[in-house]
Amino acid sequence: MKVDAFIEKGLDGTYDVRFGDDTKSLTFSLLGQGNTVQEAIEDFNNSMEEIKEMYVETRKIFPENLEFNFKYDTASFLAYYSKVLSLAGLQRITGVNQGQLSHYVTGHRKPSPKTVEKIEKSLHAFAKEISQVHFV
């Protein structure tokens, strides 16, 4: 079973990982928190292991093959990766104005679904291009 888990940056600068709305078939919920995305995902996975142990102790059946599809909201992704990729660089990759990207990072504006799709497709194309780099 594949379940969406969303990564979001909180107002305090920490990150949360939580289930999406597609988890009606699950009888539990999970939350991960951390100062970085990696810490939040690790905490989320630790929470899952604790729930698994509780299910074993109480003889409940834990869902088999439970996998998570981690997804970012656009602002959280941009905030997290703007430490690695400058907004000017993201502008060159995505074609979205640096000022607009800044508004998305700070939460002053939300991108339209069309802009979210444009950013995502551009980043996937960039990742594919980078994955094909070979040095001599």
DSSP one-letter string for 20-48: -TT-TT-S---EEEESSHHHHHHHHHHHH
Residuewise pLDDT in 10s, the chain (136 residues): 888 899 998 889 899 999 866 667 788 888 999 999 999 999 999 999 999 999 999 999 888 888 899 999 888 888 888 888 899 999 999 999 999 999 998 888 999 999 999 999 999 999 999 999 999 8
Domain boundary among 72, 100, 115: 72
User: For residue 82, what pLDDT is reported?
Assistant: 81
Question: Taken in order 93, 96, 99, 102, is the CA torsion positive or negative?
Answer: negative
Q: Is 86 found in the same domain as 38?
A: no
Q: Is 67 found in the same domain as 15?
A: yes
User: For residue 22, what pLDDT is reported?
Assistant: 61
Helix axes 113-131, 87-94, angle to 10 degrees: 90
Q: Is 63 found in the same domain as 8?
A: yes
Q: What is the pTM of this model?
A: 0.79
- Look at residue 23 and tell me if it is in a domain: yes
- Look at residue 136 and tell me if it is in a domain: no
Q: Which residue range(s) make up the domain with 106?
A: 74-131
